[in-house]
Amino acid sequence: MKKLFKNYKSTIILLGSIILGGIIGIVMGPKSSVLEPFGKLFINLMFMILVPLVFFSVSSAMANISGMKRLGKIMGSIVLVFLSTALIAAIIGTVGALIMKPTSGLHIDMFKSLMKNAVDTQTIEKVSFLDQLVNTFTVSDFVDLLSRKNMLQLVIFSIIFGISVSLSGEKAKPLAKILEAGSITMMKVVKIIMYYAPIGLGCYFASMVGQLGGQILNGYLKIFVLYLIISVIYYFGFFSLYAFVAAGKNGVRIFWKNAVTPSVTALATCSSAACIPANLETVKKIGVPYDIAETVIPLGANMHKDGSVFGGVMKITLLMGLFGKDMTSVSSILGIIGVSLLVGAVMGAIPSGGMIGEMLILSVYGLPPEVLPIIAVVSVIIDAPATLLNSTGNTVCSMLVTRLVEGKDWLKHDKKIASETTI
């Protein structure tokens, strides 16, 4: 019990502070706005470090990536499996959100007033689709990358920069070490700031609830219930389907025989990285070859997070519902799926990627940064089930990759394959 509390301590404290803030907001009503500056202090601190955090984290991850040297067939299979399963997750999450409509009943006008008209003050210039595409992925001047409004563009630049460092070989090793040191340092900065998170988020939530009333709490409850329903369906239904595709009925049997350990580890730690040893041990017991296991699991922990894709869908639909944006058109649905894929699959490779992904959502949809705490709460309440899907999903994905690399009869092969295959 002590170990469990230790692993969940930060989540419990954050949840406790948010709940306390909500209670204070309900009791104080509009007067709770006096607490808003304490909340804004935390938000501004996070904004302050966002650009260097993204650059060092992303570029360092790319510069020091080890998967680049893997066999082409394995890496190609990994890309195919990761993208396919993440896409399925995005579609399921979007359909679930459209059916349950978690933001129904919320007063949009009140929410807009809370943001001090920040949403409506922006002038939207009509541009062609291709021009919009160019502006979405690039900027015309390097200095524009230093603005948090251009988060996606900064991520793309950081990826290209990091890959370039990796391809430069030995001559660029000192630079790779500098990037790694910068990433570690920025995470220490985040850790320091997060000591203030319970106070900052609690105060901001108190102010928000005080001005909106308890209606916003109902929205979060609906999202949590929806996420749990989707998680159960995906965990039992689609993981079984993936295992069946990988190795038929025997695949389903052997997957569930060994899935308990990574699942329990995920729930106990709420960390995909902490689940890597358990996942490696599990997939090797299943019979996944070493070279596949030791490629899929580490890369998956960083770059394949179906649970985070679901979370991205929840955050996007919450904001679109609150601000009265259309969610039923084909373009809107495709946008939700696309952005959630990016948030869940790509941002997963970045430490504290949740916050960066949230800023990316705000940037893509043209929403003010003041909205960040609204969707940050979503990350907290779905943390445990999201980690469960993220981590255990990589176990079954390793089976799918093996199916593509080794053929349909891979599970029938002598178990010596698992011990004889090397990187």
Nearest to 353 by CA among 367, 343, 363, 338: 343
Q: What's the CA gap between 405 and 292, in Å, rounded?
A: 9
| 3-class DSSP assignment, residue 272 | coil
Q: What's the CA gap between 114 and 22, in Å, rounded?
A: 15
The one-letter code for the residue type at 352 is S
Q: What's the CA gap between 353 and 406, in Å, rounded?
A: 33
Q: So where are the chain's domains?
A: 2-420
Contacts of range 3-9, beta carbons closer than 8 Å, 24 or more positions apart: 3/268, 4/268, 7/268, 7/269, 7/270, 7/271, 8/270, 8/384
Nearest to 375 by CA among 297, 291, 313, 318: 318
Contact 270, 7 (CB under 8 A): yes
pLDDT by position in tens, the chain (length 423): 566 566 557 767 877 887 898 889 888 888 888 888 898 888 788 778 878 887 887 788 678 765 455 456 877 888 899 999 989 999 998 998 888 877 666 655 555 554 544 444 343 344 454 665 677 678 889 998 887 667 768 878 888 898 898 888 889 999 999 998 998 898 788 788 888 888 987 887 788 778 766 556 666 778 888 899 999 999 999 999 999 999 999 999 999 988 887 887 787 666 676 678 788 888 888 988 877 887 788 778 767 888 888 988 888 888 887 777 777 788 888 888 888 887 775 555 444 456 667 777 887 777 777 677 777 778 777 877 888 898 899 999 999 999 998 888 888 754 444 444 433
| 3-class DSSP assignment, residue 125 | coil
CATH class of 2-420: mainly alpha
Contact 114, 323 (CB under 8 A): no
Compute CA distances 74 → 79, 138, 398, 401, whole Å. 9, 31, 10, 7
| Intra-chain end-to-end CA distance of the chain, in Å | 39
